[in-house]
Amino acid sequence: MRARRWLTLVKVLVSNATIMTFSMREKMLIDEGFVFSDNGRIAVIGSGEPPEELRYPELLLTGKERLIMPGFSSAFTNLSLYLLRYKEDVPDLSSNIEYLRKISRVDMYFLAAMAFAEMISRGVTTALVVDIYLDEVARAAHDLSFNVVLAPPINCGLEEFAPETELRLLLSRWHEKVEGIRAGIAACNEVDQKILSLAREHKLRIFQLGGSVSEYEGVEVVFVNPSKGSGSNVVRWGPQLSVWRPEEGLGVGVRPSYDMRDVVRETSHKTFKHPIDALYSAIVRNPILIGFSDIGPLEKDLKTNLLMLNASEPPGWPLPKNLGGVTKAVVEGNLRIETVILDDEILVDGGETMTIGSDLINKAKKRLANLVKE
């Protein structure tokens, strides 16, 4: 189980809030309602005032002039390239081998910590990461209380980084041993028999990068930016956001902002699809695609994964009362994220990320300074 380092809570009540649930079992939009979480799970969601037996939690948050919604997920993310995110050309792992060679395992820990810190501050709580040195990424995710699926890229021209050794480390130290950290396998363009055998042996999900959408027997395969095909097992990011369809997932990949709201906004603008469809993908579809079936909407018995956005003043004020207006406020309005709760831990409080301190940020900046200069 995950070691609890930060402020952990058993019972949390948010009252008098506007709630956007994204649930098929609950009302999609509750104008004035409450959310009650118990032991890291959503216990009750309702309209109006909470019943008497719920009114004495360990943490009571007033939701007045606040919007409550689920946290976001990125279904494809690179962290080693975080320092290159402002390049004009979209960077990728295989075209930046010389840069990757300069990164040590310690560097990778700090790169992951900095990227996770940004994502948490922007309401992203769960991600698929395809990268090098994923054992260090797992340690950073654990330290910052971030949920990850970690998939070493096995046939992607990165053999010098020993992805199969990295997979063995993940399986021996993290996968199904530490809460919120899971392993997968990434493959480029096609999935060969060796990868299929590994996936079947360890019951892992495969993430195929590029290539055509295909069928593979006995394994779950998710296709990231495929060259051909579409469907409910496809994830789009960066250059393929313009061809996204509502049944597909969305990822940060590498971009100037590791904020899924920016991904949703860009996707909606490029595809002319309704932003509620892209939001649903970033909140509900993505966790399912990467393998977190107990995270997603605000729904009874699912893991608590909750954002509180401030609408008491501009840019959030006044918060609309209808679903279309609230959706536009989330996607276009740049509402300030005030609180993030995942499981039974507060990750963001009063706009401040609690799981990373200034000491770690300063150590990371000092450690990564040479990489920044180069």
pLDDT, tens digit, 9 for 90 and up, residues 124-169: 999 999 999 999 999 999 999 999 999 999 999 999 999 999 999 9
Residue with tokens 């055509």: 212
**Strands 352-353 and 345-349, how do they pair?**
antiparallel
Mean pLDDT of 111-133: 98
Q: Hey, what long-range contacts does 264-273 have (CB within 8 A, 24 or more apart)?
A: 264/331, 265/331, 265/332, 266/241, 267/236, 267/241, 268/331, 270/241, 270/242, 270/244, 271/241, 271/242, 271/243, 271/244, 271/245, 273/244, 273/245, 273/246
| 289 contacts 249 by C-beta, under 8 angstroms | yes
Token digits for 54?
Answer: 């719920």
- Integer Cα distance of 128 and 123 in angstroms: 15
Nearest to 76 by CA among 244, 319, 311, 302: 244
pLDDT, tens digit, 9 for 90 and up, residues 20-38: 999 999 999 999 999 999 9
- Determine what percent of the chain is predicted with pLDDT higher than 90: 91
Angstrom CA distances, 123 to 156, 195, 335, stand at 31, 33, 11
* Start and end residues for every CATH 3.20.20.140 domain found in the chain: 72-290
Residue 5's pLDDT band (boundaries 50, 70, 90)?
very low
Q: What is the DSSP letter of 164?
A: H
> In CATH, which of 3.40.1410.10, 3.30.300.20, 3.30.565.10, 2.30.40.10 is domain 11-71+297-353?
2.30.40.10
* Start and end residues for every CATH 2.30.40.10 domain found in the chain: 11-71+297-353
Q: Which CATH class is domain 72-290?
A: alpha beta
The answer, as to whether pTM is greater than 0.75, is yes
Counting Cα atoms < 13 Å in the Cβ hemisphere of 36 gives 16
> How many CB atoms sit inside 10 A of residue 242's CB?
12
pLDDT mean across residues, the chain: 95
Predicted confidence (pLDDT) at residue 243 exceeds the cutoff of 80 = yes
